[in-house]
Structure 1
């Protein structure tokens, strides 16, 4: 789904390799995988993402807090 999908939707990530592929094209770098620590290649922001109770990631896990990459969408 493109950016703007329903709040509360989640994306299950099956493996660290899949997580890295999803980060490509989003202008982010994965610094740590557990806990998930991300770095924005555009503005330099750092943020962490907590998994939901079912182990999946929030739908907007990849989004820079400064919204640098908000137009990237989740589809690759």
Structure 2
């Protein structure tokens, strides 16, 4: 959904298109989003998790998301 929203849906060609139906949830890899981190790289994983927690806690994540998307990403 994000790919279409930030790509095609932002163009004049999309004037007569809209998202319809329920949001798709789950699937092959389950619910949620993912960030790839090298298997076993616990230091990088800890840094990514800490950074995400910090920007969600102070409202930065919500401000950035609202600027670009009319829906929640996480």
Same fold? TM cut 0.5: no
* Structure possessing the higher relative contact order (Cα contacts under 8 Å, 6 or more residues apart): 1
TM-score, normalisation: structure 1: 0.24
Larger Rg: 2
TM-score, normalisation: structure 2: 0.24
> Which of the pair is proportionally richer in helix?
2
